[in-house]
Structure 1
Amino acid sequence: MNERIEFNPRVCNGRPVIKGTRIPVSVILGQLAEGESWESLLQGYPELTRADVQAVLRFAEASAANSELTELASV
């Protein structure tokens, strides 16, 4: 799939993380969705590279393309 994203049952309960870190893909996606800039994100996580953030976006793209998405109901 993506050499920068890993699933390890001993890291974050098997949630996808950036390889070699405990940073979940969902955290990075959430921060980007809230409007955080790449520069700010990389300053906050100095262990990450631009390639890591690109890998997160590619992972999200592949996940959306390969799964059945359902509309969220209003609560």
Structure 2
Amino acid sequence: MENLLKRITINPEVCHGKPTVRNMRWPVEVILDMLGSGMETSEILEDHPELEKEDILATLYYAKLSISGDILKEVS
């Protein structure tokens, strides 16, 4: 699971420093919003081919760590 965190980046030059997927302009919150609206992973990947299944899993793992209160030392 820790390898998934390497897909989440925080860069002040990208999306105002919000956590994003692989330093692309895909904030974690946008991926979570798509999932929360009922989109299936396969639909997201079909609509956005630059994303990978592991990116979706990484956003979910990041969200889990965020709400659990764990320190996110691996995210940079």
TM-score by length of 2: 0.83
1:10-62 per-residue CA deviation (whole Å, 9 max, x = no partner) reads 00000000013110000000010010011110011101111110000000000
Q: If you compute each CA radius of gyration, which structure gives the higher value, 1 or 2?
A: 1
Identity %: 37
- Alignment length (residue pairs): 67
Structure of greater relative contact order (alpha carbons < 8 Å, 6+ residues apart): 2
In structure 2, runs of 5+ residues without a counterpart are 71-76
Q: Which residue of 2 is the match for residue 20 of structure 1? A: 23
Kindly report the root-mean-square deviation, in angstroms, between the aligned alpha carbons of the 2 structures.
1.3
Which of 24, 30, 33 matches 1:30?
33
TM-score by length of 1: 0.84
Which of 56, 64, 69 matches 2:59?
56
In structure 1, runs of 5+ residues without a counterpart are 68-75
Give the structure with the higher percent helix. 2
